[in-house]
Amino acid sequence: MLLKSAITTRRVFLRSNLGMGAVFMAGRASGSDSILGPQGTAPGGKSRVVVARDEKLRVGNSSPSQDGILKILDRALQTFFDRDQPIEAWKQLVRPGEVVGLKVNCLAGRGISTNRQLVEGICERLQQVGVRSIVIWDRLNADLESVGFKIIEGNAGIRCFGNDFAGYEQELAVYGSVGSLLSTTLTRICDAVINLPVLKDHGITGITGALKNMFGAIHNPNKYHLNVGDPYVADVNMLPAVRQKIRLSICDATTAQYEGGPSFMPQWTWPYNGLIVARDPVAMDYTCWQIIERKRAEKGLEPLSRVKRAPVYLSTAADSRHQLGTCDPNKIQLVET
Amino acid sequence: MKFHDPQAMKLERPCFDLGDVDRRIFLKSMSLPCLAVACGAAWRAAPAEASPAAESDAQYVVEARFYEKLPFKKIKCKLCPRECVIDDHERGYCGVRENRGGTYYSLVYSRVVSMNVDPIEKKPLFHFLPGSNAFSIATAGCNVNCKMCQNWQISQVRPEQIKATYMPPEQVAKQAALHACPVIAYTYSEPVVFSEFMIDAAAAGRAAGLRSVVVTGGFVQTEALKKICSTVDAIKVDLKGYSQKFYKEVVNGELKPVLDAIVNIRKLGVWTEIVCLVVPTLNDSEEEFKGLAQWVKTELGPDVPLHFSLFHPEYLLTNLPPTPISTSSAPRPLQMPKGSTTSTLGMYRAILRKVPTAPNATRYWSGAADSSLWRSGLRKASVPTAKSRFQASGAEKFCDRHLLNLGPDVQTKVRCVCQD
């Protein structure tokens, strides 16, 4: 029901937010924006989603520059946490001494995966706030290497490896429709995780965003693509280790793809030149979905609902049983900067 | 070899029992040390462990045989009724077949994760070379996801998540012969998902004078099934239940394609036995049993053995109790009226498996024409004489599929129920 109302108000949502320039919210963030806060809540109990963009992020078809991405990242985090300095924003997120995981998405190779430059920028900021142990991880070493990450093992510092190196738990984690072995990187190595999905279309689940990216933390994602991923995507995110350890999602939308995903299809990508930041993964994914829908409409493609790929699992993730966030645009505070 | 990993052994679950005598023989005869350490249980790798990073997967990868190419490097799998449409770099529901640049590959060719010497009755096949041993192998993967799966550690994982040994088809045949197994069994996980390997191994086995049997959920497309049937000799189908609701909610599959497949297996002349795992409250209604028995009788014939095995809490169904154990729990429509040679629905062979009536005993009750057939354990079978079975069945001809192996020197032909 919630999803239906969300769909009917989509146009209003887009017009009033994405298309109309920055809506910077003044004022300090509430106390809930602390490390232990449940969501990135804005005044009025809304979920805050920050979309930070820079049209000059790259020249032509070149890769985004390191400096350019760091600037957007800082702007996005400062806006999200409402802080004047980047370091102060990051202090809201992690504590010195914590082991922080960066869950990237590298399935589609260099064309449309989490940018190395973004990851490097995050590592730089984490180190500045006293985090000494960072783990960049995804499902497979090969996927990470395909994007240009170097596999680094060891016990401290900046490490990078796939679940195929770290392994999985031996006991099933079960919630609802899902029973999976979780990556030990998530369960044993990391104290906190920053989720770094990409903004792209998905041929089965409609989009891949923050929620879907956690399929990379389980051993059997192939079992959970039925029925447009509903309720599986929501259920995976209910697994305690997933739900409790993810502190923030930063969607790499420097390059986005509106059709043909999850594989890289250059003919359907466009330079969005942005980052999307949220604590509420449902609100983030709803925002991602609307961005993709707007691009599809611009390109004359049918809405995802017409091609039976609307991400209905967002509604499930937002329902009273899951309460992972909201996909009601009236409860999302979209901040564009 | 990496099989000696002590951690792998610690994780192993001895769920496949062999009798003491057989275990000794088994261990003594094993030429592969890796099999010996399995201590009488099926050798199974540790699913939770990662494969060594340096291991090359290339030797296990062959182009899949049942798929079609689609635009934009997509493919459609034609192996099972699910017909997964798979993007580049993605895998199908089974997790063992991958699209690489628009070409579909099996990742489990010769990638054996479990092997054992089993009595053929353990499959269970009660009427195909009874008393013989089957060299039993599996790869990772399955095209359904049964909540009560007893072997989920190998069936519900991806190939790279479990240790394997490279065993090409010819080697499978060699190992079977080496261990005096007249039969190769493709079992434990879902052989349909390793069809390419199974078909080639069965062909290699046939060339070496060995039979092949398949233990499958039967969720397979007709063309693939025909190929499989052309190289194997018997198929035992796990018919998980007799309602679409059960298939959808518990199996994550569909009933009708499975029923169609069973009918096709019979039509193709491959010896068929059926097993239904009785899950309390989920597929044990009298109506369902009745429907199932009626369907078997009508569509397949009353002589197709229908086994009922007992559920125990496992995988995602740990909240249910084991199936009640008593001979009286035999599905009522299948029970034999006194003095009758068939059950009330006309089934000759309705078999309730694993009914212990004494400590450490596993008995097999056959509510069938040969109801004198009580088996205590798999290897201590109280095998009826060929004569009594032949007379009881009223068969008119013999078939060498039903050689009754009564010992190294004695083989007696018994009732033939196949169409040869």
Q: Which residues contact A80 (CB under 8 A, 6 or more apart)?
A: A40, A48, A50, A89, A277, A278, A335
Residue A35 lies in a domain: no
- pLDDT above 80 for B56: no
| Beta strands A41-42; A46-53: pairing state | antiparallel
Q: How confident is the model at residue A42 (pLDDT cuts 50, 70, 90)?
A: low
Contact residues on chain A for B51, CB-CB shorter than 8 A: 164
B70 inside domain = yes
Does the distance separating the beta carbons of B73 and A263 come in below 8 Å? Answer: yes
- Top-confidence residue, B350 or A308: A308
Average pLDDT over residues A195-204: 96
Mean pLDDT of chain B: 75
Three-state SS across B232-287? CCEEEEECCCCCHHHHHHHHCCCHHHHHHHHHHHHHCCCEEEEEEEECCCCCCCHH
Q: Could you tell me if B129 and B251 lie in one domain?
A: yes
Residue B159 has pLDDT above 50, yes or no: yes
Q: Does some domain include residue B145?
A: yes
Q: pLDDT tens across B183-213, in order?
A: 999 999 999 999 999 999 999 999 999 999 9
Cβ contact A228:A205 at 8 Å: yes
State what percent of residues in chain A have pLDDT above 90. Answer: 80
Do B68 and B116 belong to one domain? no
Reported as a pLDDT band with limits 50, 70 and 90, residue A36 is very low
| DSSP states along B292-356 | HHHHIIIII-TTS-EEEEE---BTTB-SSPPPP-SGGGS-GGGSPPTT-SS-TT--S-EEE----
Alpha-carbon distance B13 to nearest alpha carbon in chain A (angstroms): 13
Q: Chain B within 8 Å of A172 (Cβ-Cβ)?
A: yes
**CA quadruple A271, A277, A281, A282: dihedral positive or negative?**
negative
Which of B47, B85, B93 lies closest to A223 in CB terms? B93
Contact B53 A165 (CB under 8 A): yes
How much is the average pLDDT of A294-323? 96
Same-domain pairing of B75 and B170:
no
φ, ψ for residue B105, nearest 5 deg: -125, 145
Contact A140, A164 (CB under 8 A): yes
Angle in degrees, CA B196, B129, B22, rounded to 5:
95
Confirm if B405 and B411 have CB atoms less than 8 A apart. yes
Contact present, B30 and B179 (Cβ < 8 Å): yes
Indicate the burial class of A61 (C-beta count within 10 angstroms; 0-12, 13-18, 19 or more).
exposed
Side chain identity, residue B197: F
Contact B158 A262 (CB under 8 A): no
pLDDT at B389 over 80: no
Q: Which two tokens stand for residue A122?
A: 């995050």
Lowest mean pLDDT, pick from A229-243, B152-166, B341-355: B341-355
pLDDT of residue B40: 35
- The answer to whether the Cα torsion of A19, A21, A26, A28 is positive or negative is positive
Residues B118 and B88 in one domain: no
**Residues spanned by the domain of B164:** 111-415
Size of interface A-B (CB pairs under 8 A): 76
- CA–CA separation, A307 and A271 (whole Å): 24
Q: Which residue of A has its CA nearest to B11?
A: A170
| Same domain, residue pair B156 and B94 | no
Between CA A284 and CA A209 the distance in angstroms is: 8
CA distance A160 to chain B (A): 13
- The pLDDT score that the predictor gives to residue B343 is 59
- What do you get for the CA distance between the two ends of chain A, in Å? 31
Is B386 found in the same domain as B273? yes
The total number of structural domains that make up chain B: 3
CB atoms A168 and B156 under 8 Å: no
Kindly indicate the confidence band of residue A170, based on its pLDDT and cuts at 50, 70 and 90.
very high
- B389 and B274 in one domain? yes
Q: Which residues contact A40 (CB under 8 A, 6 or more apart)?
A: A33, A47, A48, A80, A248, A278, A279, A280
User: Which residue type, as a one-letter code, is found at position B189?
Assistant: S
- Contact status of B295 with chain A (Cβ, < 8 Å): no
- The predicted pLDDT at position B287 comes to 85
What residues have CB less than 8 Å from A196, skipping those under 6 apart? A102, A103, A104, A105, A114, A118, A119, A122, A213, A249, A250, A251, A252
Assigned domain for B12 exists: yes
ipTM: 0.83
- B52 preceded by a cis bond (ω within 30 of 0): no
Among B72, B91, B315, the residue with its CB nearest the CB of A260 is: B72
Q: pLDDT at residue A20 above 80?
A: no
CA distance A104 to chain B (A): 16
Q: Is residue B51 part of a domain?
A: no
Residue of chain B minimizing CA distance to A224: B93
Query: Which residues in chain A have Cβ-Cβ distances shorter than 8 Å to B92?
Result: 222
Question: Looking at residue B12, what is its pLDDT?
Answer: 29
Q: Nearest-5° angle of CA B73, CA B77, CA B78?
A: 135
**Residue in A220, A226, A261 nearest the CB of B157:** A220
What value does the mean pLDDT take over residues A245-270? 95
Residue B7 has pLDDT above 80, yes or no: no
B332 — pLDDT class (breaks 50, 70, 90): low
Lowest mean pLDDT of A1-10, B74-83, B145-154, name the range.
A1-10
How many angstroms separate the CA atoms of A195 and B49, rounded? 24
Given a cut of 80, whether residue B25 has pLDDT beyond it is: no
Inter-residue contact B255 to B243 (CB < 8 Å): yes
CATH code for the domain of A122:
3.40.50.11440
Q: Residue A297 — φ and ψ, nearest 5°? A: -65, -40
pLDDT on residue B36: 33
B346 and B404 co-located in one domain: yes
Express each pLDDT in B280-326 by its tens digit: 889 988 888 888 888 998 999 888 888 888 888 999 999 998 887 65
Contact B158 A226 (CB under 8 A): no
Which of the pair, B60 or A28, is modelled with greater confidence?
B60
> Is residue A34 one of the residues assigned to a domain?
no
pLDDT digits (tens, 9 = 90+) for A291-301: 999 999 999 99
Indicate whether B50 belongs to any domain.
Answer: no
Chain A interface test: which of B56, B61, B70, B72 (most A C-beta within 10 Å): B72
* Nearest residue to B217 (alpha-carbon basis) of B204, B228, B231: B228
Q: Tell me the shortest Cα–Cα distance from A284 to chain B, in angstroms.
A: 24
Contact A172 B316 (CB under 8 A): yes
For the cut 70, the answer to whether the pLDDT of residue B409 exceeds it is no
Same domain (yes/no): B102, B115: no
What is the nearest CA distance from A261 to chain B, expressed in angstroms? Answer: 8
- How does residue B44 score in pLDDT terms, banded at 50, 70 and 90? very low
pLDDT band at B330 (very low <50, low <70, confident <90, very high): low
Report whether B351 contacts B365 (CB < 8 A): yes
Residue B403 sits in a domain whose CATH number is 3.20.20.70
Confidence check: pLDDT of A10 > 60: no
Residue B52 maps to a domain: no
Task: Give the structural domain span for A61.
Answer: 2-20+50-336
- Per the CB < 8 Å rule, is A179 touching B11? no
pLDDT score recorded for residue B333 = 53
Q: What is the mean pLDDT of residues B396-408?
A: 39
Which amino acid, B102?
Answer: G
Q: Does residue A165 register a pLDDT over 80? A: yes
- Say if residue A249's pLDDT is above 80: yes
CA gap B241, B279 in Å, rounded: 9
Q: Are residues B97 and B158 in the same domain?
A: no
Residue A107 lies in a domain: yes
Give the CB-side neighbour count of residue B261, counting CA atoms within 13 A.
Answer: 30
Partner A contacted by B92 (CB < 8 A): yes
Minimal CA–CA distance to B373: which of B105, B144, B130? B130
- Verify cis geometry, omega within 30 degrees of 0, for the bond prior to B159: no
Helix, strand, or coil (residue A210): helix
Amino acid at A272: Y
Same domain, yes or no: B161 and B273? yes
Show which of residues 210-249 on chain A sit within 8 Å of chain B, judged by CB atoms.
219-220, 222-223, 225-226
* Beta strand A192-195 pairing with A246-257: parallel
pLDDT at position A171: 94
Dist CA B368 CA A66 (whole Å)? 76
Window from A112-121, A251-260, B123-132, B212-221 with minimum mean pLDDT = B123-132
Which residue's structure tokens are 């990391």?
A: A190
How confident is the prediction for chain A on average, in pLDDT? 87
Most confident range (mean pLDDT) of A5-19, A205-219, B339-353 is: A205-219
Residue B309 belongs to a domain: yes
Average pLDDT over residues A155-163: 92
Q: Per the structure block, which two tokens stand in for A332?
A: 């999302």
User: Which is higher by pLDDT, B340 or B196?
Assistant: B196
- Does B53 reside within a domain? no
Residues A100-145: tens digit of each pLDDT: 999 999 999 888 999 999 999 999 999 999 999 999 999 999 999 9
Q: Which residues of chain B lie closer than 8 angstroms to A181, CB-CB?
A: 47-48, 157
B70 touching A (Cβ < 8 Å)? no
pLDDT in tens, A76-89: 999 999 999 999 99
**How many separate domains does chain A show?**
1
Confirm whether A32 is domain-assigned: no
pLDDT band at B5 (very low <50, low <70, confident <90, very high): very low
Does position A270 have pLDDT exceeding 80, yes or no?
A: yes
**Can you give the pLDDT at residue B342?**
57
B135 and B29 in a common domain: no
Residue B382 to residue A84: CA distance in whole angstroms: 84
